[in-house]
């Protein structure tokens, strides 16, 4: 079985997707982490995020995979654990530009489809229902108000030791959502078959229970 969870930044997709995968005994794949790894590498190698050709070369030269240590997912690139590094604010600020290039998306989508081949997965991202897993049995679109998403992201960054003011986070999220929604390929959108869940007034647990109820109903 394949379950897709798409939605804007800070909607709680990754937490819910991880919990849902645990509950169902499925593998969780965080596709955002893959775009973030490429962005981290681009930052390190001083590759311009607008330079599709240089990014394409870089994307083809690296190997990204996930490892699971006592239930925790780690994103590894060329043997290096980049789980914490990819969440850095400078990566967040650049990632949607890197992810806007169709050639980059093609590489990532192919790798994601390979990872999901023949196994039951919960995958979260922006284009999962449309491009990565078009045959997914369930396509959730998880959203929340911009204010709530900003608060959540601020709390998350705070717990990782980054104190960033509300306005800066609001700006990052707004910019990223705009770029993610407006790009030509793999844009963020609600599909005709999407099951939309607004989590503005719901806890992670309530969202999880809602999804499980929908899945178990059938
Ligand atoms: O956790 P958060 O919602 O902030 O973002 P993420 O899921 O880690 O994704 C980071 C960025 O990667 C997004 O803003 C998109 O630009 C890009 N992305 C994408 O283009 N397609 C995906 N399937 C997943 C992420």
Query: pTM for this structure?
Result: 0.96
Q: Is 18 in the pocket of ligand 1 (CB under 6 A)?
A: no
Residue 38's pLDDT is what? 98
The percent of residues in the chain predicted with pLDDT above 90, rounded, is 92
DSSP string computed for 12-60: SHHHHHHHHHHHHTPEEEEHHHHHHHHHHHHHHTT--TT-HHHHHHHHH
Residue ranges per structural domain of the chain: 2-213
Query: Atom of ligand 1 at shortest distance to CA of 9?
Result: 3
Q: Is 176 in the pocket of ligand 1 (CB under 6 A)?
A: yes
Q: Is 95 in the pocket of ligand 1 (CB under 6 A)?
A: yes
Residue nearest atom 21 of ligand 1, based on CA coordinates: 126
Name residue, tokens 């949607």: 96
Nearest to 7 by CA among 129, 132, 167: 129
Q: What's the rounded mean pLDDT across residues 7-28?
A: 95
Residue 161's pLDDT is what? 87
Tokens encoding 162: 């980054």
Ligand 1 centroid – CA 124 distance (Å): 9
Determine the Cα–Cα distance for residues 61 and 51; give it in Å rounded to an integer: 16
Ligand 1 centroid – CA 218 distance (Å): 30
Is residue 30 within 8 Å of residue 116, measured between CB atoms? no
Ligand 1 centroid – CA 214 distance (Å): 25
Residue nearest atom 22 of ligand 1, based on CA coordinates: 125
Determine the Cα–Cα distance for residues 145 and 184; give it in Å rounded to an integer: 24
Check pLDDT > 90 for residue 96: yes
Secondary structure of the chain: what % helix, strand, coil (to 5)? 50, 15, 30
Provide the strand spans (E) within the chain.
Answer: 2-6, 27-30, 64-69, 72-77, 80-81, 121-125, 138-143, 195-198
Is residue 95 within 8 Å of residue 39, measured between CB atoms? yes
Tell me the three state secondary structure of residue 131: helix
Residue 71's pLDDT is what? 72
Nearest to 193 by CA among 143, 144, 137: 137
Q: Is 98 in the pocket of ligand 1 (CB under 6 A)?
A: no
Name residue, tokens 């990754």: 14
Class (C level, CATH) for 2-213: alpha beta
Query: Atom of ligand 1 at shortest distance to CA of 99?
Result: 20
Residue nearest atom 16 of ligand 1, based on CA coordinates: 96
Residue nearest atom 15 of ligand 1, based on CA coordinates: 96
Residue 173's pLDDT is what? 95
Is residue 40 within 8 Å of residue 91, measured between CB atoms? yes
Residue nearest atom 9 of ligand 1, based on CA coordinates: 32
Q: pLDDT class for 120, splitting at 50, 70, 90?
A: very high
Question: Over the stretch 21-79, which tens digit does the pLDDT of each residue have?
Answer: 999 999 999 999 999 999 999 999 999 999 999 999 999 999 999 998 877 889 999 99
Lowest average pLDDT, out of 130-134, 144-148, 153-157, 198-202, goes to 153-157
Determine the Cα–Cα distance for residues 199 and 81; give it in Å rounded to an integer: 31
Q: Is 125 in the pocket of ligand 1 (CB under 6 A)?
A: yes
Check pLDDT > 80 for residue 130: yes
CA distances from 150 to 21, 142, 144, 153, 155 (A): 25, 15, 10, 5, 9
């Amino acid at each position: 079985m394949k379950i897709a969870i798409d939605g804007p930044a800070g909607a709680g997709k990754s937490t819910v997707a991880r919990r849902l995968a645990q509950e169902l005994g499925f593998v969780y794949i965080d596709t955002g982490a893959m775009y973030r790894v490429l962005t981290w590498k681009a930052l390190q190698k001083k590759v311009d995020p607008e330079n599709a050709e240089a990014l394409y070369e870089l994307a083809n030269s690296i190997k990204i995979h996930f490892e699971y240590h006592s239930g925790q997912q780690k994103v590894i690139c060329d043997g290096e654990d980049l789980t914490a590094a990819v969440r850095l604010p400078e990566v967040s600020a650049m990632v949607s530009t890197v992810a806007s290039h169709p050639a980059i998306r093609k590489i990532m989508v192919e790798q994601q489809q390979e990872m999901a081949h023949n196994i039951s997965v919960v995958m979260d991202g922006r284009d999962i229902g449309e491009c990565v897993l078009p045959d997914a049995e369930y396509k959730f679109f998880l959203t929340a108000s911009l204010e709530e998403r900003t608060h959540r992201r601020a709390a998350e960054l705070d717990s990782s030791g980054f104190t960033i003011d509300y306005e800066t986070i609001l700006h990052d999220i707004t910019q990223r959502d705009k770029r993610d929604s407006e790009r030509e390929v793999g844009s963020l959108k609600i599909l005709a078959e999407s099951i939309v869940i607004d989590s503005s007034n719901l806890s992670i647990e309530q969202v999880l229970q809602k999804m499980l109820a929908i899945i178990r109903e059938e």
